[in-house]
Amino acid sequence: MSIDTMDCETWIGSTLMDRDDRKVGTIEAIYFDEDSDQPQWMAVKTGLFGNRHNFVPLAGAAIACDAITTQYDKAEIDGAPKIDADEDLREEAVIELHGYYGLPYAVAPAGDQEVVVEREIILPLTDPDTQAQDDMLIATGHGSLVATAPAEPMTQGEQDMLIATGRSAPPYRA
């Protein structure tokens, strides 16, 4: 069942269940996008005493029996950024929520360029100048497969190794 603006407003006070039918909390408010006037977020009262609020995307939510279900997991919802539910969502908070849930978010800054915020991925750090760091730079498009000229002449075995690993060897020197 798709989300209708009028229907989702009646969800306030309903129980929200996660994708595994675990109770997340009670829907306290529905937040609308100011530009499109479409419902975007549910503020859900969570915690043992209901003293916390988490924002959950309305995308993928549906009515199921006596509750509303979401496509997100309870642990993921509990780990969402903590944002005060008593006021309008600031754009920074919306961008943070979109990034956390992995939802695309387009911002139209001055000039007609579009900036898309995607889920933040944190990669482990490696020691500088290691093969793993070089490989990561190449894989993310920030490195180059072109080998720099070594300070010392290379042996044929070293050149063969560069070629076998997909790196180009510098021109043969006499």
How confident is the model at residue 122, as a pLDDT?
A: 46
Quick one: 137 and 73 in the same domain? Answer: no
Q: How many domains does the chain have?
A: 2
Contact predicate 46/56, CB 8 Å: no
Q: Is the residue at 9 inside a domain?
A: yes
- Using one digit for the tens of pLDDT, what is the confidence trace for 160-174? 776 766 665 555 544
Taking the C-alpha atoms of 118, 124, 130 and 135 in order, what is their torsion angle to the nearest 10 degrees?
Answer: -40
Predicted TM-score (pTM) of the model is 0.58
- Over residues 26-45, the pLDDT tens digits come to 999 999 888 788 889 999 99
Residues 78 and 17 in one domain: yes
Q: How confident is the model at residue 14 (pLDDT cuts 50, 70, 90)?
A: very high
The reply to whether 32 falls in a domain is: yes
Query: Which domain CATH number covers 68?
Result: 2.30.30.240
The one-letter amino acid code at 29 reads A
Judge if 129 and 66 occupy the same domain.
no
The domain containing residue 169 runs over which residues? 123-174
